[in-house]
Amino acid sequence: MFLLVNGTTGESMSLSVAERKLLAEEWCQRAKGRMDNVIIHAGCMSLKDSQDLARHAADIGADGIAVISPSFFKPRTAESLRKFLQEVASAAPALPFYYYQIPSLTGVNVPVRDVIEDIEKLIPSFRGVKFSGSDLLDLGQCVSYSQPRWSILYGVDEQLLAGLAMGANGAVGSTYNYIGRYVNQLISAFETGDLIRARTIQFKIQELLGYAIKLGFDLGVNKQLMAKVSGLFLGPPRLPVMPCSPAHAQLIAEKYHGIFV
Amino acid sequence: MFLLVNGTTGESMSLSVAERKLLAEEWCQRAKGRMDNVIIHAGCMSLKDSQDLARHAADIGADGIAVISPSFFKPRTAESLRKFLQEVASAAPALPFYYYQIPSLTGVNVPVRDVIEDIEKLIPSFRGVKFSGSDLLDLGQCVSYSQPRWSILYGVDEQLLAGLAMGANGAVGSTYNYIGRYVNQLISAFETGDLIRARTIQFKIQELLGYAIKLGFDLGVNKQLMAKVSGLFLGPPRLPVMPCSPAHAQLIAEKYHGIFV
Amino acid sequence: MFLLVNGTTGESMSLSVAERKLLAEEWCQRAKGRMDNVIIHAGCMSLKDSQDLARHAADIGADGIAVISPSFFKPRTAESLRKFLQEVASAAPALPFYYYQIPSLTGVNVPVRDVIEDIEKLIPSFRGVKFSGSDLLDLGQCVSYSQPRWSILYGVDEQLLAGLAMGANGAVGSTYNYIGRYVNQLISAFETGDLIRARTIQFKIQELLGYAIKLGFDLGVNKQLMAKVSGLFLGPPRLPVMPCSPAHAQLIAEKYHGIFV
Amino acid sequence: MFLLVNGTTGESMSLSVAERKLLAEEWCQRAKGRMDNVIIHAGCMSLKDSQDLARHAADIGADGIAVISPSFFKPRTAESLRKFLQEVASAAPALPFYYYQIPSLTGVNVPVRDVIEDIEKLIPSFRGVKFSGSDLLDLGQCVSYSQPRWSILYGVDEQLLAGLAMGANGAVGSTYNYIGRYVNQLISAFETGDLIRARTIQFKIQELLGYAIKLGFDLGVNKQLMAKVSGLFLGPPRLPVMPCSPAHAQLIAEKYHGIFV
């Protein structure tokens, strides 16, 4: 099982480098011996900061790093994105490296398949992709090209079943912090060939997320649901993310309990 | 098996109403007794023309009609789209009615799930959707809501497997005019639970379409491939669609033969 | 002064070809001797219908034709769009020809400057552009390239002053049916070098349109305002355009009267 | 005259906080007594870092700060963006504060007019906006609402004349580092009412930028032009921005010299 520290849900992009290091250290210490893999997200707008975070992850004994593309200055070609990732990876060459794709937030639309072409020549430590886009032509071509030691993890929670059908070999998603149990059931059903059951669970997740999206689903809502459903109190989000209104949180929690009795 | 006349590949939107009627008549005559279902696409920019085409389809003995949303003036709400579809359907109330969704061409982003809410109260002849979008949250919610007498047909060829996993009960696509054999194999493999095989075929289709897309895939290319691969000579497309350059057609045909030996 | 018949506000795209011909005839008859120029819009999705309408415009003595790009199948290059326009123009070679650009509705983003390059070699009757986009780099390059016998008319009402500054030599806009008096004042002020006054009027128009946009500005609202403000009762719009709710129409009319006392 | 340090052209978003402080210090020291106004850009993804940079700007004697919206987590409402800006401003309450808008890079589409509503109640030090968007309805409404002590500076170089016509009272742009002389001529011509001359210069700038955009205009090209045209050698850009190819730089420089003889 993977643990991804300082990812999107962790609001890493809203933290200072020092804050990110502190969190990484805490998680590495506490997870030792309890989780298989602690992956630290090291991506940020600045190559220099990303390299600093990669080096730090190696120093504190993380099991791997993941890197998002910069998104203020967006790479316009696979070539520039690959160079950026290579420069970060080279700061922690011994750590397994994952490319973290999430085009809805970054606005970077370089096909992942183009990024991973012969990527081990540039990044020998490359071990996979967190694919959080909805372009399943691209996902399929990544799976088709994937090497045995790579993981292609799918990250769009509301259509996980489609990602699994297309061959993704795992899932990473923010809502799994509170519906993780059902996601595990979905994956088990899929793996045993029980598509009817997998679909039934997927539809429930869609019903919940579809409802939340209509109310204005974002990280603030997500955090509130973690608190309401899983009892994980994480404090309020940092600006510009706004806290979820108590009224909305209540409605979504009720919907959750109505769907997953 | 369905036959969809005057759809996108048939360039219906580039035809006059008289030309569309002529084609519909020819197909109805020639398909009688040979195809289960001849569905005539009756959608156009003008409600009045759409009603005219719906009435005509009933007159010539078609088995159903399908209707695309107008896309110059785009419906802004499910309500206005539902009213438009209702007005067309009411011109041929005895014919099974299908809503034909294809947001990449129409730019209409009303969720299909919102369109079909209690739709039989407005359109008693409603029988399904050709869903040609990539929003699988919407697709899943449509499947989940679908009635036994409805068909939810998926129309994004390069990710058909994802549509099937999400519960679509059929496929309609332009490339099936020349890779239909492989698509049938994909669907059979999926239905017998052989996901590995289904995925292998899907990846081949993706490889072909991914290649064609990089060269500039459009209706002109599609028609050229029908000629090259299936021997269906359909003549050149009508402006503003341009014919495929012979050089590109050759490259794509070679790719096709390299993949599907 | 130009009169554009069967344009966007006239909902031409929602009419049948026969209805468009009827309207064109009525306008040509009634405007004879009263307007300088009756331009008939002949564009539609089908090249064949567009040619039919162009020929008809010539037959009934129109002073010119304007043509929008097809937008279901979108031209992907200037070349295909130019060929389409050429084919329509050639059906009425004696009539002055205008290209009618409105990317927010068509989704066609071919730069106008590329369309008009050496255009008189393809369309000897070419006389100008109705430019209804917000890309002022493109507008400026069109003005810079424009020939003395051409008109570059600007069609984004809420930023007309910017279009005039960039060198547009006229304005065509749907809201001019009810705020035409103020637009004439704006243009006069601009032409006499009184930018302060031109700006004051432009800001008032922006205040009105900005307010209407927040309430959901569309053709239905526009028609209601024509009725409320100018006393031009045009009947309800055709689906999929919905009529403006009386409540919204009232609010916008009040805003109008508050701004333009 | 304003000097904006650590803006977009300065690649501030690709720098670490320490690097940004170093640059700010250098510029403040060297500009003292030579420039009217040294404005330090303090915006970044993290509120905490932005506050740190704002405080630092005050400490080193800057004349003001400018702040871009965070763009990984995008503010979804004017309210959340206003709160973010307020929190940064409050870290340097004595410094004049400017909101730096550039939606093409941030993807943040909150109307500026909504941001500045009664803004001095939240940010007493508010002094204006760098408006780098193409929505001139929004720009006009900002100018119309602007207070005498505010500056509304326009930042889309290829349509500066439109911004001036709409009432912007200044210009900030990256290309002004090498075509500044012509921009000053454009502004002078505009201010003396010579629109013909202003337009002639604007068209030349458009011809250059239009040409560069077709070749793939970005920050790397911009920097190369600064070197080629103004002799300002700034070193290569930092990844993910790629350096301009020598061939492209040569073509654009030739175009420049052909236009501005």
The string of DSSP codes covering C175-238 is THHHHHHHHHHHHHHHHTT-HHHHHHHHHHHHHHHHHHHHH--SHHHHHHHIIIII-----PPP
Q: How far apart are CA C38 and CA B93, in angstroms?
A: 42
> Strand, helix or coil at B99?
strand
One domain, residues C224 and C147: no
CB A15 within 8 A of CB A49: no
Of the residues D21, D98, D99, D130, which is catalytic? D130
One domain, residues C119 and C202: no
Residues of B in contact with A175 (CB under 8 A): none
Considering the domain boundaries, does residue A65 fall inside one?
yes
CA A186 from chain center: how many Å? 18
Residues 6+ positions from D225 with CB-CB distance below 8 Å: D175, D178, D212, D249, D252, D253, D256
Q: Between chain C and chain A, are at least 3 CB pairs below 8 A?
A: no
One domain, residues A146 and A230: no
Query: Hey, is the C-beta of A161 within 8 angstroms of any chain B C-beta?
Result: yes
In terms of Cα–Cα distance, which of A140, A199, A143, A102 is closest to B157? A140
User: Nearest residue on chain C to B242, judged by CA atoms?
Assistant: C80
List the catalytic residues of A. 100, 130
One domain, residues C8 and C93: yes
Place of tokens 């409404």: D141
Considering the domain boundaries, does residue A214 fall inside one?
yes
User: Nearest residue on chain C to D163, judged by CA atoms?
Assistant: C162
CB D112 within 8 A of CB D142: yes
Q: Dihedral angle at the C-alpha atoms of C45, C49, C51, C57, nearest 10 degrees?
A: -110
One domain, residues D158 and D233: no
pLDDT, position C175: 85
Residues of A in contact with B134 (CB under 8 A): 134-136
Q: How many CA atoms lie within 13 A of C140 on its CB side?
A: 26
Segments in chain B below pLDDT 50: none
Q: How far apart are CA A157 and CA B139, in angstroms?
A: 14
The string of DSSP codes covering A228-246 is III-----PPPTTSPPPPH
Nearest CB partner across the interface for D141, out of C136, C167, C206: C206
Q: How far apart are CA B47 and CA B91, in angstroms?
A: 11
One domain, residues D39 and D154: yes
CB C114 within 8 A of CB D213: no
What's the angle, vertex CA A191, arms to CA A190 and CA A194, rounded to 5? 45
**Pick from D145, D173, D201: which residue ends a domain?**
D173
One domain, residues C128 and C207: no
In terms of Cα–Cα distance, which of B163, B224, B105, B186 is closest to A137? B163
In terms of Cα–Cα distance, which of C224, C256, C225 is closest to C243? C224
Q: What is the pLDDT along chain C (261 residues), one digit of tens a residue?
A: 678 999 999 999 999 999 999 999 999 999 877 777 899 999 999 999 999 999 999 999 999 999 999 999 999 999 999 999 999 999 999 999 999 999 999 999 999 999 999 999 999 999 999 999 999 999 999 999 999 999 999 999 999 999 999 999 999 888 888 889 999 999 999 999 999 999 999 999 999 999 998 888 888 888 888 888 888 788 889 999 999 888 888 899 899 999 997
In the structure encoding, which two tokens stand for residue D233, read together? 């050698």
pLDDT, position C31: 87
List the catalytic residues of B. 100, 130
- Give Dmax over CA atoms of chain C in angstroms: 52
Chain D interface, best mutation among C159, C192, C211, by max D CB count within 10 A: C159
One domain, residues C225 and C152: no
Query: Hey, is the C-beta of C218 within 8 angstroms of any chain B C-beta?
Result: yes
Considering the domain boundaries, does residue A185 fall inside one?
no
> CA of D146, closest CA in chain C: separation in Å?
12
Q: How far apart are CA A101 and CA A69, in angstroms?
A: 7
User: What is the interface size between C and D, counted as CB pairs within 8 Å?
Assistant: 88
CB D54 within 8 A of CB D17: no
CB contact under 8 A, B202 and A161: no
CB contact under 8 A, B14 and C73: yes
One domain, residues B260 and B204: yes
What's the angle, vertex CA C106, arms to CA C101 and CA C110, rounded to 5? 60
CB contact under 8 A, C45 and B14: yes
Q: Are strands C37-41 and D97-101 parallel, antiparallel or unpaired?
A: unpaired
Q: How many CA atoms lie within 13 A of D236 on its CB side?
A: 9
Cβ burial, residue D33 (10 Å; 0-12/13-18/19+): exposed
pLDDT, position C245: 86
The number of distinct structural domains making up chain D is: 2
- For residue D46, give the amino acid letter: S
Cβ burial, residue A191 (10 Å; 0-12/13-18/19+): exposed
Length in residues, chain A: 261
Query: Hey, is the C-beta of A213 within 8 angstroms of any chain D C-beta?
Result: no
D100 assigned to active site: yes
Sheet arrangement for strand C126-131: C2-5, C37-41, C64-68, C97-101, C126-131, C151-154
Query: Hey, is the C-beta of A114 within 8 angstroms of any chain B C-beta?
Result: no
Considering the domain boundaries, does residue C235 fall inside one?
yes
Considering the domain boundaries, does residue C180 fall inside one?
no
One domain, residues B68 and B33: yes
Contacting subunits of B (3+ beta carbon pairs below 8 A) = A, C
Residues 6+ positions from A203 with CB-CB distance below 8 Å: B140, B141, B143, B144
> Strand, helix or coil at C149?
coil
Query: Hey, is the C-beta of C105 within 8 angstroms of any chain B C-beta?
Result: yes
Place of tokens 């432009």: C202
In terms of Cα–Cα distance, which of C83, C143, C133, C87 is closest to C109? C133
Residues 6+ positions from C141 with CB-CB distance below 8 Å: C111, C113, D203, D206, D207, D210
Residues of D in contact with C202 (CB under 8 A): 140, 166
What's the angle, vertex CA D43, arms to CA D41 and CA D47, rounded to 5? 145
Considering the domain boundaries, does residue B188 fall inside one?
no
Q: Is the dihedral of CA D209, D214, D219, D225 positive or negative?
A: negative
CATH number of C156's domain: 3.20.20.70
Query: Which strand (E) or helix (H) includes residue B68?
Result: strand B64-68
**Model ipTM?**
0.96
CB contact under 8 A, D159 and C141: no
In terms of Cα–Cα distance, which of A22, D60, B52 is closest to C15? B52
> Strand, helix or coil at A66?
strand
CB A105 within 8 A of CB A71: yes
Considering the domain boundaries, does residue C222 fall inside one?
yes
Of the residues C100, C154, C176, C182, which is catalytic? C100
Residues of D in contact with A14 (CB under 8 A): 45-48, 70, 72-73
The boundaries of the domain holding residue C227 are 193-261
Nearest CB partner across the interface for D206, out of C140, C195, C213: C140
Place of tokens 């066609």: C108
Using only C-alpha atoms, chain B has a radius of gyration, in whole angstroms, of 18
Considering the domain boundaries, does residue B184 fall inside one?
no
Contacting subunits of D (3+ beta carbon pairs below 8 A) = A, C
Query: Hey, is the C-beta of A187 within 8 angstroms of any chain B C-beta?
Result: no
Chain A interface, best mutation among B112, B113, B145, B206, by max A CB count within 10 A: B206
One domain, residues C29 and C59: yes
What residues of chain B, 9 to 68, have a C-beta less than 8 Å from chain C? 11, 13-17, 19, 44-49, 52
Nearest CB partner across the interface for A80, out of D74, D84, D239: D239
Chain C interface, best mutation among D159, D164, D191, by max C CB count within 10 A: D159
> CA of D157, closest CA in chain C: separation in Å?
9
**Pick from C173, C208, C227: which residue ends a domain?**
C173
Cβ burial B171-197 (10 Å sphere, 16+ → b, else e): bbbbbbbbbeebbeebbebbeeeebee
> Strand, helix or coil at B108?
coil
> Strand, helix or coil at D5?
strand
Q: What is the pLDDT along chain D (261 residues), one digit of tens a residue?
A: 678 999 999 999 999 999 999 999 999 999 877 777 899 999 999 999 999 999 999 999 999 999 999 999 999 999 999 999 999 999 999 999 999 999 999 999 999 999 999 999 999 999 999 999 999 999 999 999 999 999 999 999 999 999 999 999 999 888 888 889 999 999 999 999 999 999 999 999 999 999 998 888 888 888 888 888 888 788 889 999 999 888 888 899 899 999 997
Query: Hey, is the C-beta of D4 within 8 angstroms of any chain A C-beta?
Result: no
Q: How far apart are CA A165 and CA B207, in angstroms?
A: 17
HEC per residue, C66-106: EEECCCCCCCCCHHHHHHHHHHHHCCCCCCCEEEEECHHHH
Residues of D in contact with A74 (CB under 8 A): 240
Length in residues, chain B: 261
**Pick from C142, C173, C204: which residue ends a domain?**
C173
Residues of A in contact with D71 (CB under 8 A): 71-72
Query: Within a 10 A sphere around the Cβ of D245, how many other Cβ atoms?
Result: 14
In terms of Cα–Cα distance, which of D116, D213, D114 is closest to D159? D213
pLDDT, position D1: 63
> CA of A12, closest CA in chain B: separation in Å?
27
CB contact under 8 A, D73 and A47: no
CB contact under 8 A, A140 and B134: no
- For residue D178, give the amino acid letter: Y
User: Nearest residue on chain C to B243, judged by CA atoms?
Assistant: C80
pLDDT at A38 over 80: yes
Nearest CB partner across the interface for C203, out of D144, D165, D195: D144
- For residue C126, give the amino acid letter: F
One domain, residues B16 and B60: yes
Nearest CB partner across the interface for A136, out of B140, B141, B159: B159
pLDDT, position D177: 83
> CA of B247, closest CA in chain A: separation in Å?
24
pLDDT, position B53: 98
